[in-house]
Structures are given as C-alpha cells and as structure tokens.
Amino acid sequence: MGLAVICSACAAPSLRYKKEINKLLAQNKIESADQHIRDKQNRMYAKKDIHLFLLDRATLLHDDGKPKESDELFAHAQERIDDLYTKSITAEAGTLLLNDLTVPYNVADYERAFTFFYRAMNFLQQKDIIGAAVEARKAVFFLDGLRGSKKTGYTDDPFIQYFASLVFESVGQVSDARISRQNALNAYQKQGEKMDVQTPNFSVPADADNLGEIILFHYNGLLPLKKTQTLQLAWDKAMSIASSPEETENHVAPEVQNAVYAGIMGSAVTISFPKLEEQSYHIASSVVVLDAQQYPLYKVANLAALAQQDLEENMPSIWFRTVTRAVVKQIVAVQARHAASQAAKDDSVGQLAGMIVGMLGSALEKADTRQWFTLPAEIHMTRIFVHPGKRDIHLLLRDKNGNIIGEKVFEDVIVRRGGRVFLHYRSAY
Amino acid sequence: MKKLCAVLLLLPLAFACSPSVKRVETNLVKDVGGGWNDTDAQMVAQEMITDCLGSGWYPKYTSKTGKEPVVIVGTVVNNTMEHINTGVFIEEMQRALINSGKVEFVASSSERGEVRTERLDQDEFASEETRKAFGKEIGADFMLSGVLNSVVDKASNKSLVFYQVNLKMINLETNQIVWNGQKQIKKYVKNSKVSW
C-alpha cells in the first residue's frame, strides 16, 4: 500500500494508454479520444503535470475543429509552463533519490515552440489575425532566445519561423516577415537534410494582388512514444535482466514487475531510462485537387525527428541521474541490511531487510516517459493562389506506393481577393 | 507513537488549500503577472487624452469652426507579445474624451451597426411620433486611432518589458494628422528561480 501511495505521486501516461488514444485518433474518433483522456486524467496525469493533460487535450480539440475550446486549454497550458520556471529544490532532489517523475514535466523546447503554432492556428480559424500575430511574435521571440543561448540540439525551428513569416505578412508587418523568412531559410539549410524536411518553395504569381491564397497544413502520423527500458543488475550473481515493462493485461503495474525482478535477483540495481518506439501509420504523402489541378504538399516539419533529437540531447543528464539514484539506493539497501542484522543479531533478517529496501527502490525507479504525445509525426503544407470565390477543396491522402487511401473535402471555402485562408487536417492512420 | 500517527494523518490538512478570494477596490494599483493590465490602460488613456485635448489643434479647430470637434475612436492595433484586450483601452479613451467635456463623441462603427438595426426595427414597429429617422447621424470630424507596441528583453528569470502606445488624431475630411501622442511604460519582472 505504501508503494501505491508513493507511486501515485509519480503518475505518468502509460504506453498502453497512449496507444489507446492513438488508436482512436487513427479511427478519426477524436471526440472519443478526448473523452478517454478526460476519463483517465486522475490516473495518468499527476496534478503537477496538468499542463501535459491540457496540451494532449488541446491538440485533439484543435484537430476536431474546435479552435476556441482548444485555445482556452493551450492558454492555460502556456501559463502553467511559464509558472514552472521556478524550480522546487525538494522536487529536484527527488530526481536523485526516487525518480525523474518527482518534478513537473519539463516541456521540451520544440514542444513549447509548437504551442505558439497551435495557438496561432486556433486564432486564424477564428478569423483573429491579431491574436495569431501575437502568438507568432511569441514564437519568434522564443526561438531567437534559443538561437542565442544554445549551440547544439533544437536551436531554431524553420517551419515555425516560416509560418510566423506568413502571419506577419498577413498583418502587414513586412519587415518582421522578411526576417522570419530569412531565419526559416537559414534553418532549413542547416537542418533540412538531417530532419528530412523540404524547404518551402512556393512561387508567388505576378498577379497575386488579384488572387486569394489557400494555405493548407496536413498534420500526419503519430509521434514516436516514449517507453521505459529497464536494466536490472545483480552484482554478486553476475545476472542481469533487461525489460521494457508495461502495464500488463491484468493491470500489473511496471513498478510491481520491477520489484519482483529485484526480489528474485536479491542484491540488484535497477536502472530505467526512456526510449522511443516508432508508431506505424500508412499515409506517406498528400495532394490537393482544385479546379482540375493537382498541388502536392511538401513535408516541412518532422516532429518525430525533433522528439528523437530532444531525447538524445537529454540522455547524458538522464544517465547521470539514473546512475546516481542506483548508487544511492544500493547504499541505502546495504545500510538497511547491516542495521537489521545488527539489531536482530541475525544475518537472514538483515538480508530480508536489504531485499525489501532493494525491492522498494526498484519499484520507485521509473523512466520519465512523459511527452506531449498527441502531436503529429510530421506536417505537410501547400500554398495555392486562386481566383476569388467559393469552392470545395479536395485533399487526397496517399500511401508510400502512391495509392489514394483517404480523402478530406473542405466544403465551401471562400477565398477573397488579396485574402488568405488557413486550413488544416489531421490524419493518424 | 499515537501522537506521531495523528500528526501524519492530519498533516495533509495543513496543505489542503481551496482558493482564497479577496475583494479589492477597482482603483487599486496591483501588478500581478508583469503584463499589461487595467491600471496601464486607465493611466495611459487618461494621460494621452489630456495631452491630446491640451495640444494646439483643439483651440485652432474651435476658433475656426466655433464648435467642439466630433470625435470617433477607431482601432488600436495590438503589436505586442501579449493578448491585450484593446477594447478595454478603447473604452478608457472614450470615457476620458466624454468626461473631458471638450468634445462631442459619436459611436464607433461596431456600435453604429447595432443602433442602425434598432432604427430599422423602429421604422417597422414604433409609432410615427417616436420613431427615429434615418439620415440624421452626426458625422465625426476626427478619428483617434493607434498602435500598442512592446519590446521585451529577457535573460534567465528577469525580463524588462517596454510598452509604447502611439495615438493619432486624424482629420476625417483632410486626412491631416493634427496630433500625434506617445506614452511609454517600462516594467521589470523578476521570477524566483527556486522554492522549497
């Protein structure tokens, strides 16, 4: 029971739970996915990780075409993320004694950047270009800060810079648009090949002033999911067990599994760290069919690669904390064994005490598998200049062999002269 | 042992917290988050309108025409990094203009829409003696509009936020800018790095 009490403070969305949500997303049952997240809030999200709960939900509401509700959640999430700047000394100490889940989820830089993108898109859906411009400015300010302070890893985001430039153009801030566009191009040149993304290169026709523009974002796929990789090493028996414990069919928690292995192995050290598991999806590309012409979409953002990069960037500190915890817990178990042996004047009592303390330590050893998992794996986009008017826009979804396996129709889209329409669609299958 | 158990059982109550609410005066100056707030809107509106109506264009207009200018407030564009409700700022400016007693004030374009709908309604349903006729609106002589900008300088847990509000009074007939005002506010925000 004590284990349950302690472990409840270290709640994190399980791999099984994330896959359940993804399955609903793949079936386009977005409302059901959102309901499932709400139903599981208390079990999967610790109170200190309310921002993660909000982000996971807000994305789904955005995908479901509910920009106002989505933005309310994103706004709260952003406030919470800003508040989390203050680090708790006791919670940070917990990461060296218990596990990495004692501190609130530290939103990755790329996740933070995408909160600005999603909010801007929500404002655009509500025809609030000023609101979108505020988010674009926040995004650019944040990315400027990263570029100035970091040398490696996620130092800029070419897609978000490019998107910001479009928003700045829409509000007539031509200088800001030019700067963001240049930053985008620089970042695409630097990162494009590594991230497997294409530099947007959409030509603007000479008579663009007499035309309207459709900008369509296709959010595709499922983000790789973090899962726990565990190693248990018994020094004296030269034994080791490697596993990726998940909640079992009959709801046996990974913590209990770790404790059992540790008990079996006696004097064992448990090390847990996160790793990413790719999620499969079938759609590889998409194309817009409009006025009997085809306009391919280009992959301009690769969030799966960003997730991988972020994890790699954090692995050294994760390893440091994991190894420190293993040493601390081993010392505590040894001390417990000696103290119990001396108190009872019986070595077997001491061994039992040491084993129990060791099992408790193993149960508490959990990798930090938290992430904003409802993000898509990639973003494709296109820009199309059309004559003003009302029309239906067909988005065809293709698999890796070019076969059309899905379609989305945006009905009665009104494009005004000199105006821009921002559309988006989410596919997860 | 019993005492210890009692303390442990009761300990959560010490940290159990419901939100605490305290009513404050509406004119209380209190900066909470470091962003643009109602005090900024009130202060800037009051000072800028006072400056506007005290500048040279006003006596020039009144002596030339013999009447008070009719003013309308246009848009105030938000170019900052915060979601600022410019409607609050516009309302403050309207209030300051009307209360000055120096100008006549007409409804903004959004307000006029509602008024015209009511007039249409009266045209159909109100008695002839009481219905209000079309074509009798007073046209504005000047429009007040502006922009709100900010510059943020941030490092670690400290940030310096500089707001600049620029307003212009434009003659609707000649497009002349008869007044150009500016008000600046700077805020220093420091967040605590650590807590227990």
Number of residues written out for chain B: 196
What is the percentage of chain B residues whose pLDDT exceeds 90? 35
> What integer best gives the mean pLDDT of chain B?
83
- Do A131 and B83 count as a contact with CB atoms less than 8 A apart? yes
Q: Can you tell me the mean pLDDT for A395-405? A: 96
Q: Above 50 in pLDDT, residue A150?
A: yes
> Could you tell me the fold of the domain covering B35-126+138-190?
Rossmann fold (3.40.50)
Q: Above 90 in pLDDT, residue B3?
A: no
More confident residue, A332 or A172: A172
Residue A131 touches partner B, C-beta closer than 8 Å: yes
Q: Can you tell me the mean pLDDT for A371-390? A: 97
Q: Can you tell me the mean pLDDT for A350-375? A: 82
Which pLDDT does position A245 carry in this prediction?
A: 63
Residue B115 touches partner A, C-beta closer than 8 Å: no
- Do B196 and A137 count as a contact with CB atoms less than 8 A apart? no
- Nearest Cα neighbor of A418 from A193, A264, A205 is A205
**Alpha-carbon distances of B147 from A121, A319, B94, B106, rounded to whole Å:** 23, 50, 16, 21
Quote the radius of gyration of chain A (alpha carbons, Å).
Answer: 25
- Do A134 and B152 count as a contact with CB atoms less than 8 A apart? no
Q: In chain A, what is the straight-line distance between the N-terminal and C-terminal CA atoms, in Å?
A: 41
- Do B81 and A134 count as a contact with CB atoms less than 8 A apart? yes
Asked if A52 contacts A105 with a C-beta cutoff of 8 angstroms, the reply is yes
- Residue A105: DSSP 8-state: P
Task: Please give the structure tokens belonging to residue A85.
Answer: 């700047």
Which pLDDT does position A369 carry in this prediction?
A: 94
Point out the least confidently predicted range of A150-154, B37-41, B131-135: B131-135
Q: Cα(A55)–Cα(A375) distance, rounded to whole angstroms?
A: 9
Taking only the tens place, the pLDDT of each residue in A223-242 is 999 999 888 776 655 555 66
Chain A's closest residue to B155, CA to CA, is A145
Q: Using 50, 70 and 90 to split pLDDT, how confident is the model at B94?
A: confident
Chain B's closest residue to A116, CA to CA, is B81
Q: Can you tell me the mean pLDDT for B67-84? A: 91
Q: Using 50, 70 and 90 to split pLDDT, how confident is the model at A126?
A: very high
For residues B127-145, b (16+ Cβ closer than 10 Å) or e, as one string?
A: eeeeeeeeeeeeebbbbbb
Which pLDDT does position B179 carry in this prediction?
A: 95
From chain B, the residues in CB contact with A130 under 8 A are 77-78
Taking only the tens place, the pLDDT of each residue in B24-34 is 766 666 666 67
Coil vs helix vs strand at A9: coil
- Do B194 and A88 count as a contact with CB atoms less than 8 A apart? yes
Which pLDDT does position A1 carry in this prediction?
A: 45
More confident residue, B134 or A263: B134
Which pLDDT does position B11 carry in this prediction?
A: 52
Tell me which residue in A75, A87, A131 faces B193 most closely, judged by beta carbons: A87
- Do B79 and A85 count as a contact with CB atoms less than 8 A apart? no
Asked if A376 contacts A428 with a C-beta cutoff of 8 angstroms, the reply is yes
Asked if A115 contacts A123 with a C-beta cutoff of 8 angstroms, the reply is no
Spans of all domains in chain B: 35-126+138-190
From chain B, the residues in CB contact with A89 under 8 A are 194-196
Coil vs helix vs strand at B65: helix
Which pLDDT does position B98 carry in this prediction?
A: 87
Which pLDDT does position A4 carry in this prediction?
A: 47
Q: Which residues in chain A (48-107) have CB-CB distances under 8 A to chain B?
A: 75, 85-90
Q: In chain B, what is the straight-line distance between the N-terminal and C-terminal CA atoms, in Å?
A: 28
Q: Above 80 in pLDDT, residue A358?
A: no
Q: What is the DSSP string of A162-204?
A: HHHHHHHHHTT-HHHHHHHHHHHHHHHHHHHHHHT------PP
What is the percentage of chain A residues whose pLDDT exceeds 70? 86
Coil vs helix vs strand at A416: coil
Q: Cα(A352)–Cα(A282) distance, rounded to whole angstroms?
A: 52
Taking only the tens place, the pLDDT of each residue in A168-208 is 999 999 999 999 999 999 999 999 999 999 999 888 899 98
Which pLDDT does position B42 carry in this prediction?
A: 87
Q: Above 50 in pLDDT, residue B86?
A: yes
- Do B154 and A137 count as a contact with CB atoms less than 8 A apart? no
- Do A89 and B195 count as a contact with CB atoms less than 8 A apart? yes
- Nearest Cα neighbor of A102 from A171, A48, A165 is A48
Point out the least confidently predicted range of A83-97, A150-164, B46-60: A83-97
Taking only the tens place, the pLDDT of each residue in A279-325 is 999 999 999 999 899 999 999 999 999 999 999 999 998 988 888 88
Tell me which residue in A86, A130, A145 faces B194 most closely, judged by beta carbons: A86
Chain B's closest residue to A128, CA to CA, is B83
Which pLDDT does position A5 carry in this prediction?
A: 46
> What integer best gives the mean pLDDT of chain A?
88
Point out the least confidently predicted range of A27-31, A406-410, B129-133, B176-180: B129-133
Point out the least confidently predicted range of A172-181, A383-392, B106-115: B106-115
- Nearest Cα neighbor of A103 from A84, A127, A116 is A84
Q: Can you tell me the mean pLDDT for A154-179? A: 96
Q: Cα(B125)–Cα(B128) distance, rounded to whole angstroms?
A: 9
From chain A, the residues in CB contact with B147 under 8 A are none
Q: Above 80 in pLDDT, residue A86?
A: no
Residue B18 touches partner A, C-beta closer than 8 Å: no
Residue tagged 């609106």 (tokens): B137
Q: What is the DSSP string of A42-104?
A: HHHS-GGGHHHHHHHHHHHHHHTT-HHHHHHHHHHHHHHHHHTTSEEHHHHHHHHHT-GGGSP
CA angle at B191 for the pair B186 and B194, rounded to the nearest 5°: 165
Coil vs helix vs strand at A288: strand
Q: Cα(A24)–Cα(B45) distance, rounded to whole angstroms?
A: 51
Residue A5 touches partner B, C-beta closer than 8 Å: no
